[in-house]
Amino acid sequence: MSTTPNIVLHAADVFKNFGGLRALSDIDLQIEEGKTHAIIGPNGAGKSTLLNVIIGRIPPTSGAVIFDGTVLTGKAPHEINQLGISRVFQTPEIFADLSVLHNVMAPAFARRDGAFKLSMFRTTSREDEIRAEAEHLLQDFGMWERRHDHAGALSRGDKRRLELCMCLIQHPRLLLLDEPTAGMSRHDTNTTIDLLKKIKSRGMTKVIIEHDMHVVFSLADKISVLAQGRIIAQGLPEDIRVNPDVKKAYLGGHSE
Ligand SMILES: Nc1ncnc2c1ncn2[C@@H]1O[C@H](COP(=O)(O)OP(=O)(O)OP(=O)(O)O)[C@@H](O)[C@H]1O
């Protein structure tokens, strides 16, 4: 007997105009709990705009985004974050002058206090808990050796892995990943795919924007294809792979 999937996030009838340019048109996107949902499409298709609408960085011109029964539209990014949505950005947003370990610890304190405070590193049992979890994440992500280095000194790939740890310590219900392997070597990309699979096995819901089809087809349970601001196809990876509209709009003519 099939069960109805639990929809964690629903972008309903979303339109976004930038002046005369329609960046998003009639978007209806439903994200199922525990699944990895990839959003793909050629350059300028509207993928980042859609992600920015979801996390409250830009308001939609019309339509709404609903997360677990709560309307996100109109809420500030930090409110949306506190509801359980975290995002890994295309350009990693880290504290360059803090150590790698303190970077991972910071969001856990921010989540508790509502604001990041530099005076937070006093000894408390809560701090010990957070430190232990941060250390565990850094071990999992192969960054243990670098825990005392300044985050600003990391390679681009390591900065992205660090940012992923900073998201995971917040225990988000929904993780949004904007090109998580951009700028990584093939080896680092494969390591990141393995780590994202590990996160998936913990049941975390993920939305991933990615140009690298190897990453998309390694991770996605479902794919939505955007072209010129519209969703032109949605479905299982094996269906998207052979969809002629998708081939025409993206897979066939797009160079990665
Ligand atoms: N702040 C903005 N002001 C005006 N136009 C914008 C703005 N942000 C995006 N656009 C335009 O909206 C369209 C969609 O852009 P968006 O960055 O969302 O696409 P994308 O699919 O993420 O592209 P890429 O894969 O290149 O990152 C593009 O035509 C872009 O130029």
16 part of a folded domain: yes
Q: Which of 22, 24, 48, 179 to mutate to test the pocket of ligand 1 (most atoms within 8 A of CB)?
A: 48
Rounded to the nearest angstrom, the gap between the alpha carbon of residue 48 and the centroid of all alpha carbons in its chain is 11
pLDDT in 10s for each residue of the chain, 256 residues: 556 779 999 999 999 999 999 999 999 999 999 999 999 999 899 999 999 999 999 999 999 999 999 999 999 988 998 899 988 766 667 899 999 999 999 988 765 444 444 445 555 678 889 999 999 999 988 899 999 999 999 988 788 889 889 988 988 999 999 888 887 788 888 888 888 887 777 778 999 998 888 999 999 999 999 999 999 999 999 999 999 998 888 655 543 4
C-alpha span between 194 and 251 (Å, rounded): 24
Are 232 and 108 members of one domain? no
Nearest-atom index, ligand 1, CA of 46? 18
Residues spanned by the domain of 134: 95-171
C-alpha span between 192 and 216 (Å, rounded): 12
Q: Which of 21, 61, 228 to mutate to test the pocket of ligand 1 (most atoms within 8 A of CB)?
A: 21
90 part of a folded domain: no
Are 209 and 250 members of one domain? yes
ipTM here: 0.97
Query: For position 189, what pLDDT does the model report?
Result: 86
SS3 70: strand
| Domain final residue, candidates 171, 188, 213 | 171
> Computed over its alpha carbons, how large is the radius of gyration of the chain?
19
Ligand 1 center to 47 CA (angstroms): 8
Are 106 and 75 members of one domain? no
Ligand 1 center to 14 CA (angstroms): 15
Are 106 and 143 members of one domain? yes
C-alpha span between 26 and 124 (Å, rounded): 50
Check residue 58 and report its DSSP letter: S
Are 25 and 67 members of one domain? yes
Nearest-atom index, ligand 1, CA of 24? 14
pTM, entire model: 0.85
Ligand 1 center to 228 CA (angstroms): 10
Ligand 1 center to 119 CA (angstroms): 39
- Give 189's contacts (C-beta < 8 A, 6+ positions apart): 181, 212, 214, 215
Are 164 and 187 members of one domain? no
Query: For position 130, what pLDDT does the model report?
Result: 92
First to last CA, the chain: 41
Measured from the CB, is residue 43 less than 6 Å from ligand 1?
yes
Are 194 and 250 members of one domain? yes
**Structural domain count of the chain:** 2
